[in-house]
Amino acid sequence: MTHRRLKDNFSIIRAEDRPKLLQAKDEVEAEMNKVKWKLIADKMKQNGGGVYSVSHTFSDSEVRKSR
C-alpha cells in the first residue's frame, strides 16, 4: 500500500500520528515477512528440500529475480 493510499484511508488520524502509523506498518510488515519465510523454509524441509533458517532465506524480490 502506498503512502498516499494510507494517508487517504487514515485521514481521520491526527497529523502528528501519521509518522507513527507508517512506522508501525513497516514494523508489522517486517515481522510478518520473517514469519512468512520461516513457514516457507519449514515447508521446504517437509517437502524434502534443504534446511534453511530465516537468515538464509531470500526476500520476495530476490525470489522473483531468480525465476
The confidence score (pLDDT) of residue 53 equals 79
Q: Are 52 and 44 in contact (CB under 8 A)?
A: yes
Q: How far apart, in Å, are the Cα atoms of 24 and each of 18, 21, 27, 55? A: 10, 5, 5, 22
The confidence score (pLDDT) of residue 44 equals 93
Whole-number Å distance between alpha carbons of 60 and 58: 7
Q: Is the model's pTM score more than 0.85?
A: no
Mean pLDDT across 1-26: 80
The confidence score (pLDDT) of residue 10 equals 61
Q: What is the pLDDT of residues 23-65, one digit of tens each?
A: 999 999 999 988 998 899 999 999 999 988 777 555 666 665 5
Counting Cα atoms < 13 Å in the Cβ hemisphere of 63 gives: 8
Is pLDDT larger for residue 33 or for residue 66? 33
